Amino acid sequence: MIKPIMGSWFEFQHHNKPEGKYWNPTCAQFTSEDWDAKVKECAELGMEYLVLMHVALDFKAYYKTDIFPHADVACYDPLEAVLTAGDKYDMKIFIGNDFFGQWDSPNIIHDPDARRLRLRAIGELYTKYGHHKSFYGWYWSNEAFINKYYSEDFIDYVNECSKEARRFMPYGKILIAPYGTRVVVPDDKYVKQLESMDVDIIAYQDEIGVQKTKVEESAAFYEGLRKAHDKVPHVKMWADVEIFEFEGQVYRSALLPAKFERVIKQFEAVSPYVDKILIYQYQGMMSKPNQKAYAGHEDAAKLYTDYLEWLKANHPDMLQKLYFLNIKPC
């Protein structure tokens, strides 16, 4: 059976400005009520998880801190708004603890200032927001390119962050989402690397939106990774499915919602091998029609509607959550 969407990445502003053309301006004006509406939309579709991409960007912060100046957005504390909504709608939220340096710098995990601020922020975020039941764990935002194997520098970065995070949240879940899925060598060396990393979940990017992989190829890559993860069962294997396409040149143009016909094939390809499917991303690529908090290209409404109809037909149990949360069904 094809698995449904169990969660999504989200962000207060998309880090790549050309890509975020159709939702960045809207989300910059979001109030706490608008963020509540967005979280509610995800809950209405039966999603359980949200992954915040980052708490800082371009040396400005999206939460109350003196690390950086406040970001130029209407909502003073959007992180508080999202976590409060998560509490309300019974969501589990991973907080992305970065970018405390230049987001696209290849040296961000090594930069001493970024490293210092990153570790400081873990304790600060827990102190300010740890009372929220929706604060489920952490996402380490600096993604790895698995060039056959993880680099030792990346493993050190992950383990350092996880060690600090577990001082405050011993049972918080830790998620990473690497790319390079198509070139991973899932052999014994890779299994040892999985054993050496202090993470609970790895959500592998399917890389179809960025045009590195074709839909018909991806199943084989995930099948190999599944065999490796079966040898390290405490590290759960999820998928990070890219539900977008580019308006023009890859990485240099706006992200648009992919056609549902392609997206459902992506889900079908990974479903036999992963525990859960997350998407990149609901925000901008899907949006409930005719809502004040609509964010994204006009086609985001169609992808939302097409997925909802498929969900009703194939996973009606996903919508039962609404009745327990006193949410009117879609």
Distances, alpha carbon 99 to alpha carbons 3, 79, 96, 272, 284, in Å: 32, 15, 8, 34, 21
| pLDDT in the model for residue 83 | 98
Does pLDDT of 146 surpass 60? yes
Distances, alpha carbon 81 to alpha carbons 77, 178, 255, 263, in Å: 7, 28, 25, 30
The pLDDT tens digits of the residues spanning 186-218 come to: 999 999 999 999 999 999 999 999 999 999 999
The pLDDT tens digits of the residues spanning 263-301 come to: 999 999 999 999 999 999 999 999 999 999 999 999 999
Provide mean pLDDT across the span 293-313: 96
Sketch out the chain's domains with CATH numbers: 5-324 (3.20.20.80)
Burial classification of residue 223, based on how many CB atoms lie within 10 Å of its CB (0-12 exposed, 13-18 middle, 19 or more buried):
middle
Distances, alpha carbon 294 to alpha carbons 54, 241, 291, in Å: 21, 22, 5
The pLDDT tens digits of the residues spanning 4-13 come to: 999 999 999 9
Structural tokens at position 235: 């590290």
Cα(326)–Cα(43) distance, rounded to whole angstroms?
11
Cα(136)–Cα(82) distance, rounded to whole angstroms?
13
Structural tokens at position 234: 């405490």
The pLDDT tens digits of the residues spanning 43-102 come to: 999 999 999 999 999 999 999 999 999 999 999 999 999 999 999 999 999 999 999 999
Does pLDDT of 330 surpass 60? no
Provide mean pLDDT across the span 218-242: 98
| pLDDT in the model for residue 326 | 57
Percent of the chain with pLDDT over 90: 94
Q: What is the pTM of this model?
A: 0.96
Query: At residue 99, what is the residue type?
Result: F
Question: Under a CB-based contact definition with an 8 Å cutoff, are residues 194 and 224 in contact?
Answer: no
Does pLDDT of 2 surpass 90? yes
**DSSP per residue, 57-73:** ETTEESSS-SSSPBPS-
Mean pLDDT of all residues belonging to the chain: 95
The pLDDT tens digits of the residues spanning 248-272 come to: 999 999 999 999 999 999 999 999 9
| pLDDT in the model for residue 257 | 98
Does pLDDT of 323 surpass 80? no
| pLDDT in the model for residue 327 | 56
Provide mean pLDDT across the span 171-189: 97
| pLDDT in the model for residue 319 | 80
Distance of CA 193 to the CA centre of its chain: 23
CA nearest 49: which of 16, 13, 8?
8
